[in-house]
Amino acid sequence: MLYSSHRYLLPFNSPRFLRPSSTSNLPSTMASSSLVLPSASLNHHVPFDAHDSLSLKSSSSVCFRGLKHGFQRLNLGKSRVSMSVSAGSTTAVDDALFVNYKPTTAFLFPGQGAQAVGMGQEAHKVPAAAELYNKANEILGFDILDVCINGPKEKLDSTVLSQACFHCISSFLLPAIYVSSLAAVEILRSRDGGQQIIDSVDVTCGLSLGEYTALAFAGAFSFEDGLKLVKLRGQAMQEAADAAKGAMVSIIGLDSDKVQLLCDAANEEVEEAEKVQIANFLCTGNYAVSGGVKGIEAVEAKAKSFKARMTVRLAVAGAFHTRFMNPALSQLESALSATQINTPRIPVISNVDAQPHADPETIKKILARQVTSPVQWESTVKTLLSRGLEKSYELGPGKVIAGIVKRMDKTSPIENISV
């Protein structure tokens, strides 16, 4: 999860996808060549939970083009197509397939905190991007583009929104960022030379929520399935937060070692249930600490004695990316188990261990672990840069990721493709 305090970054102001060889009888769903993802047909409104019978073995879906690394390159002309992929394959995949990846061009996707009223205005002008919002409307049951463009702001600042049609609390904010980020891919595609840029991308990653966006772009799952997972994930994390009260705070101006020492000092003064840990390794000088409310208060009280420049209490309702999220695991594991996941066509760097994974079953386990594990974003960006990354693109709302990259290497080119 990308938290709102990441706007306090200093010194900044703050696919086509894998598919089977047979392509006959594929209904056209979009106006021009674009994304292709395997997913379930969603012609009625249903929440995606542990009781869904959606095995996702076949479906209408959206897919991204730009296959590399020896995977089949699709020649779809100007048609956007749906596809179906068998979920019955048990072919073993070497999870280390991408271990020696050499990045040149990266797509980076934002997480929570990047949202702003007005996002989606550019997407509204591009038919292929607007179509993604239309598909999302069918799944979510409300006009997500309208709220992105017009607000109100409090909806975009909320992690969850009550949806009477689902008789449950369903996530709004996280789907809005997910859809908007993939819409940014379509905006880029519509520009001169955009498809060539997309085809050149050989690695992708995203910050917390953004990892789901990256996996969708890389063909690991369909747009629709990713959206349902994101919605379910937000709901499960909020329920876990309600069950065990926690909080988060960003520590500005310290390196990670000193933040760890600060956490250790705070933990000496609170009970086990209130202890804290680093939840987000964002970049040097900006780390999020997560844990019990009393533990967070102890961190805030001691921060100045550790020479922190400032602390920023985050506007979140829980201790995300820690053990406090354990209650969310069962729902998320069930949803992931029911989802068709493919080997990504390009490396997707995990938030959990800053490594790419190729085995679908491993990807499922990693995604479940993500909600209880610290986000290793700093290590991810450092590794990309050290391996020779030449150019990166931040796709979606905001410019937080560009700020992080520039903080780590001022000479590294990065371009924002906003919505």
Which are the catalytic amino acids? 208, 321
Phi, psi of 388 (to 5 degrees): 105, 20
CA 317 to chain centre: 19
Residues 6+ apart with CB under 8 A from 189: 32, 33, 34, 128, 195, 198
- Looking up tokens 């068709």 gives 340
Q: Which residues of 3-32 are buried (b: 16+ CB within 10 A; e: fewer)?
A: bbbbbbbeebeebbbbbeeeeeebeebbeb
Strands 276-283 and 286-292: antiparallel
Beta strands in 43-163 (DSSP E): 80-81, 105-109, 160-163
Instruction: Please tell me the total number of residues recorded for the chain in this structure.
Output: 419
Peptide bond into 374 cis (omega under 30): no
Dihedral, CA of residue 142, residue 145, residue 148 and residue 149, to nearest 10: -130
Burial class (CB in 10 A: 0-12, 13-18, 19+), 390: exposed
In angstroms, the CA 316 to CA 208 distance is: 15
CA dihedral 375, 378, 379, 380 (to 10 degrees): 80
Peptide bond into 27 cis (omega under 30): no
**Cα separation, 300 vs 106, whole angstroms:** 36
Give the span between the Cα atoms of 380 and 201, in whole angstroms: 16
Location of structure tokens 């709901």: 235
Phi, psi of 80 (to 5 degrees): -95, 130
> Strand, helix or coil at 170?
strand
